[in-house]
């Protein structure tokens, strides 16, 4: 299975589900998904703001990773509503944009916009959520392929 295809599948089994991640002793929350000879881990610390990483291993080595930092910027809408909308956007991740959500998505008063550059091998980007036209959330991310030591 191609890495991008697995990444899309794994993201569909993590934060996008709307379920809570497993709480770990260090205070982080984590989702783990294994299939097709790969293992994916999405781990984050904090609530608002939060920081985290996604990592993929093949059977022996780390082969891909992404770091992210996100935060709610406004109290115009409760943070819980922002994150519920974010999870909907995350369920729309596509193989041509396997990093976060789609380029654009809107529902009701919410709009999601993701801008990125690069390929799955090396990329950076920013996702934003707007509520009634006001930016209420932002996440910056970067990552790419990792060469085993």
Q: Mean per-residue pLDDT for 45-69?
A: 95
Q: Mean per-residue pLDDT for 89-109?
A: 93
Q: Is a pLDDT exceeding 90 seen at residue 112? A: yes
pLDDT at position 17, please?
A: 87
For the chain, the first-to-last Cα distance in angstroms comes to 23
- For 9-38, the pLDDT digits (tens) are 999 999 988 888 899 999 999 999 999 999
Domain that holds residue 112: 3-145
- For 73-88, the pLDDT digits (tens) are 999 999 999 999 999 9
Model pTM score: 0.93
Total domains in the chain come to: 1
Per the CB < 8 A criterion, the answer to whether 142 and 121 are in contact is: no
């Amino acid at each position: 299975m191609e890495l991008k295809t697995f990444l899309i599948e794994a993201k569909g089994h993590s934060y996008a589900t709307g379920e809570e991640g497993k709480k770990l002793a260090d205070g982080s929350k984590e989702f783990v998904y294994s299939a097709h000879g790969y293992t994916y881990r999405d781990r984050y610390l904090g609530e608002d703001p939060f920081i985290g990483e996604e990592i993929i291993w093949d059977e022996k080595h780390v082969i891909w990773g992404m770091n992210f930092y996100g935060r709610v910027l406004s109290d115009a809408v409760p943070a819980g509503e922002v994150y519920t909308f974010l999870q909907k956007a995350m369920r729309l991740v596509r193989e041509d944009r396997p990093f976060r959500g789609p380029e654009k998505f809107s529902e009701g008063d919410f709009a999601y916009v993701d801008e990125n550059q690069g390929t799955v091998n090396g990329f950076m980007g920013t996702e934003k959520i707007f509520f009634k036209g006001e930016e209420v959330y932002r996440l910056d991310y970067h990552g790419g392929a990792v060469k085993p030591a």
